Amino acid sequence: MEVIDRASANRHYSFFLLLLLAASSAMSLASAKTHHHGFIVQATKVKRLCKTHNSITVNGMFPGPTLEVNNGDTLVVKVVNRARYNVTIHWHGIRQMRTGWADGPEFVTQCPIRPGGSYTYRFTIEGQEGTLWWHAHSSWLRATVYGALIIHPREGSSYPFSKPKRETPIILGEWWDANPIDVIREATRTGAAPNISNAYTINGQPGDLYNCSSKGN
């Protein structure tokens, strides 16, 4: 009789654990969200260092838009290529669990998005928090096609420090006073290192020591 009672108790305990796990999974799924974004890759007039260039940008912005999600969320980004170059987008630092085709390296995980074409990236962020970035992974378009990707803790979870009152992403970059595609093509043709950039940038702006360094110049 005692053996039967123990077996019955074990079954009830196992059933309770299964219910607990199911409830936990359901709560996790309920808190996760799907974020939809549209990226239009296009030539945009950008003025830096006293000169205006037709730079390739996303949504006419340089740097591109900042994406904010929570750990566990799904990101869906439709990229439409209106530029004259092939393009792909890489989500730098994201662990592509079972979604390797969304990683972005040209001719490695996908064919490039040709001019006039489009492609939709879809992936779930699992077990990651922090400030990452996305950028073009085709030729040297990443010189101007990039932006921040901020992953907040899962909803209901706390930061490992006091929650910041305000956050300002800081993106370091470089600026060439030329078409970056021409820069890399020249380096490939000669076998030499690419020409060094004309300025370092913070959030797309050169520092005060450069000519015409005020915002938008």
Mean pLDDT over 172-178 rounds to 95
Sign for the CA dihedral angle at 15, 18, 22, 24 comes to positive
pLDDT at 48 over 70: yes
* Amino acid 24: pLDDT: 45
pLDDT at 64 over 70: yes
Give pTM, 2 decimals: 0.81
Strand order in the sheet with 130-136: 67-70, 146-152, 130-136, 89-92
Structural domains of the chain, with CATH? 31-158+165-170 (2.60.40.420)
Sign for the CA dihedral angle at 59, 117, 89, 30 comes to positive
Written as one letter, the residue type at 46 is V
* Amino acid 2: pLDDT: 52
pLDDT at 132 over 60: yes
pLDDT at 189 over 60: yes
Most confidently predicted of 124-128, 158-162, 165-169: 124-128
Share of the chain above pLDDT 90, in %: 69
Quick: pLDDT tens for 6-37. Answer: 555 455 555 444 444 444 444 444 578 999 99
* Amino acid 20: pLDDT: 45
Mode of pairing for the β-strands spanning 67-70 and 146-152: parallel
Q: What is the DSSP letter of 142?
A: G
